[in-house]
Structure 1
């Protein structure tokens, strides 16, 4: 008798509902193969509170509690996991089972505009926009099992099938158009699947100092608003709750993820567009990068944050549920003369890698440190404030980095997806974690952690010296290593500085 889980991976780690109760089950017919390593990591996890290796993909906390409490989702997804047990895993595949579990207020409107959705932790989030009308996700048909008739002429499934390739997907040009509209004019991204938490109470500042590597003293207060990637929202929620309990902090974490939508308006024309919609001065002086304000948008109160995950001038609007559609329509109406268009997460993946913005569980894993990931600037090392992990960073800084993340570009137009081997002067030194095609620089871009073959420090000189190559499916390509992001390395665009050429 074999157990199959909802994503074809084991269930391991501490249960989010019961402290001290650990799982090590759901091995999907691969228990003999996985048992030794998983047993070793689970033992370390129980004793030390965390595994040695990256076990996030197996961590029970990867699932949102609304899914693990939903019998229909478990039944459908576990069936599809079994049905696809021996299927080739293609880069852009999506499940057909257990869909439409979590929908944001923009879902129906975007579907009508041709949105092809991705499923991430129960949420339906925009993947890309199909030019030939709606392609809705239908109820699961169990692939015709149990006497259930299969869907005929299922447009969404047909679009997925066309992407079953290790070449560039057939919609490569559509994703390029979304990316270039963002780089040249303005694009609107629906990012409502983000987790939205409030940390409040007498010890909220103490908790924030300990939990967050960044210095939060710039905005003193006893309340903190957190917008966290939807994929890692449950994991973050469980981690924060555990730390609050272990440290005895008197504060409350509340989840408002379902109560708010979030759209991001990004590109050189974003300020011109939003100045018509928001009742506040959006100049650099009045609204600097990395600040936020409560403002009015088309008569509705919203939180505006000047941030970017694509490397452009832009703002995120965090909007109460009932105000989402009127605010979105006002943004689209104001943007018509600027050539605004919707864009999805496939575009975000490309735009973000051009800027070197890190993705969770690709560029960043539990076994990476902020120093290795090039994120030392997010750590308050120059203050004396203690924080979770500070001692480990101090000792690593003193010893020097034995591994670090590096950006690579190749000139040939070949797709890469991550896990491609990295060679330095013909010696393997690591593998890519993530790769995408960068449309603005017209090159394939990959990020991976590398080690020095002699075990020494991975210095900038080591990265600048010698020849790097990347191997994809047995073919080796010359690669260029970059110490800064290959697109807008001076970060002028997020400051609203655009050259006139």
Structure 2
């Protein structure tokens, strides 16, 4: 018999429900092809607690339990996986089967405003916004007693994504990005996991779990906001460490109880100062701090953070307060030209800034040093943390692999996996690529190695002539040691090249 899984990938690793029970199944008619390598990695996983290579895409923890407990979701999504077995895999494809499994309080109002949703971890999150009205609900081809749409806008728009060129709505994503860079946008990020780490040993657990120095954080409770696609994986990892280390603390999941919107751009302070009853100045509310305060009469947690490289705040909002706060933000932002934006814009804006994405720029087999994230590690302290010994050894030995940013002048789309050449010799491949609309260039990030096996030094990068190969065509590329966009981090600090009221594009 053949087994087909919901995303056409095997199910491997330790079962979330039972410690010590490992899965190695669901090979989608490719068991003979995958069995050798997967068997080797599973053996390593059982013995050492983790695989040697990156197996995240096969890890059973990629699925939330609300999905794996849902027989309708399993049936419909696995059916679609089987039906698309030999289909061309396009970069921005989305499933049509068994959608709307997990929706947040903003779902209806964003649907009415033309939101094209992406499915991640069962959640419907905003992808981008069409400008011609609501996108109809999914009908899964009229199967499973679901009435078929006569005018199926989602399917039509998805079909336009079936290209290896820039899609026809590329200009809409551009508008979302540039509005964020020049004005203000609101991103619905409610699909994030929202966990609380509490209890007598919470501080001790946080010191061990997190590479950053959290000793300066007051109190002994921690609020963890985690990207929705990796929330279940993080949940299981943290609970496993708490159990293995016998920490006396609890991890509780409040993901469904709260919404989260991010208001970003040079005009974000002007908008939010109208509705947040707290001082938003740099002195009173510095970058990377948070406050519980009132927003339009509702209690929210405001965090001054950005994943797009602009001045901005995230608002973490109790479920029943989400819509009133959102409406207040949109009303206050109307005179500033505020718009909704989605994750396609976040993907572009974040790669332009050089912020890392999990399982694109960062995988389980990458280290913070290789990823240019040494600043997130408390190596200057004496506090032990999970992975510290490996990082200290790698730092002493030198980096034999490191991530590099590339830009190319030609306007050709890349999506990741394109080969990287240095002086004509292959040294790696892109992990992620997207168009940066502010600098007006295609951007890619990838890890490179020294073909001689030596250290990848700054001089090795600076002295090389790099090219990228896309579908058999080679393009000259420029390597960057820092992000080509705002490398001094002025914008997240609220420092802009011109006054916010008279903002214009700056040379970068």
What TM bracket, shorter-length normalisation?
over 0.9
Distance 1:151 1:129 in 2: 20
CA distance in 2, matches of 1:149, 1:230: 30
Give the conservation status (yes or no) of the 8 Å contact 1:99–1:139.
no
Taking the aligned partners of 1:136 and 1:148, their CA distance within structure 2 comes to 13
Aligned partner (choices 141, 156, 165) of residue 167 of structure 1 = 165
Kindly indicate whether the alpha-carbon contact (under 8 Å) linking 1:135 and 1:155 is maintained by their aligned counterparts in 2: yes
For residues 372 and 162 of structure 1, the distance between their equivalents in structure 2, rounded to whole angstroms, comes to 37
Q: Deviating runs (4+, > 3 A) in structure 1?
A: 146-152
TM-aligned CA deviation for residue 152 of structure 1: 3.4
Distance 1:383 1:452 in 2: 31
Q: Distance in 2 between matches of 1:445 and 1:218?
A: 36
Q: How does 1:3-22 map to 2 (within 5 A)?
A: 3-22=3-22
* Residue 47 (structure 2) pairs with residue 47 (structure 1): yes
CA distance in 1, matches of 2:145, 2:64: 31
Q: Which residue, out of 178, 181, 186, partners 2:179? A: 181
Residue matched to 1:197:
195
Distance 2:401 2:137 in 1: 43
1:238 paired residue number: 236
Tell me the secondary structure at the aligned position of residue 140 of structure 2.
coil
What is the CA RMSD across the aligned residues, in angstroms? Answer: 1.0
Question: How far, CA to CA, are the matches of 1:37 and 1:340 in structure 2?
Answer: 50
SS at the partner of 1:414? coil
Alpha-carbon displacement from aligned partner over 1:70-96 (angstroms, at most 9, x marks no partner) = 101000100000000000000111000
User: 1:140 matched to which residue of 2?
Assistant: 140
Unmatched segments (≥5 aa) in structure 2: 499-503
Question: 1:219 Cα shift?
Answer: 1.1
Give the 3-state SS of the residue equivalent to 2:370 in structure 1.
Answer: coil
Q: What secondary structure sits across from 2:352 in the alignment? A: helix
> Which residue of structure 1 aligns with residue 221 of structure 2?
223
Separation in structure 2 between the aligned mates of residue 295 and residue 313 of structure 1, nearest angstrom: 19
SS in 2 for 1:477: strand
Separation of aligned partners in 1, 2:73 and 2:185: 33
Which string of whole-angstrom CA distances, capped at 9 and with x for unpartnered residues, describes residues 34-84 of structure 1?
Answer: 000000000000001000000000000000111001101000100000000
Q: Deviations over 1:189-247 (max 9, x none)?
A: 00000000000000000000000000001113220000000000000000000000000
CA contact (8 A) 2:139 2:146 kept: no
| Deviation readout 1:362-385 (Å, 9 max, x if unpaired) | 000000000000000000000000
CA distance in 2, matches of 1:112, 1:277: 24
Whether the 8 Å CA contact 2:428–2:449 is kept in 1: the answer is yes
- TM-score scaled by structure 2? 0.97
Alignment of 1:87 with 2:87, yes or no, is yes
Could you tell me which of 385, 388, 391 is aligned with 1:387? 385
1:25-104 to structure 2, matched below 5 A, reads 25-104=25-104
Higher mean displacement: 151-160 or 489-498: 151-160
Q: SS where residue 258 of structure 1 aligns?
A: coil
Partners of 1:372 and 1:425 lie apart in 2 by 22
Instruction: Give unmatched runs, 5+ long, in structure 1.
Output: none
Q: Relative to structure 1, is the Cα distance of residues 148 and 381 closer, same or farther in structure 2, using a 3 angstrom cutoff?
A: closer
How do residues 273-312 of structure 1 correspond to structure 2 at under 5 angstroms?
273-312=271-310
What is residue 404 of structure 1 aligned with on the other side? Answer: 402
2:123 alignment partner in structure 1: 123
Q: State the distance in 1 between where 2:276 and 2:146 align.
A: 50
CA distance in 2 between counterparts of 1:222 and 1:493 reads: 32
* Counterpart in the other structure of 1:155: 153
CA distance in 1, matches of 2:486, 2:415: 23
For 1:433 and 1:137, locate their aligned partners in 2 and report how far apart those are by CA, in whole Å: 33
Shift of 1:137: 2.7
Q: Distance in 1 between matches of 2:477 and 2:137?
A: 40
For this pair of structures, how many residues does the alignment match? 499
Match of 1:489 among 487, 490, 499: 487
Contact 1:279 1:296 in 2 (8 A): yes
Could you list the per-position Cα deviations for residues 440-462 of structure 1 after superposition, in whole angstroms to 9, with x for gaps in the alignment?
A: 00000000000001000001110
Q: Secondary structure at the match of 1:469?
A: strand
Seen in structure 2, the aligned counterparts of structure 1 residues 221 and 274 have a Cα distance that, compared at 3 Å, is: same
Quote the Cα distance in structure 1 between the aligned partners of 2:294 and 2:24. 49
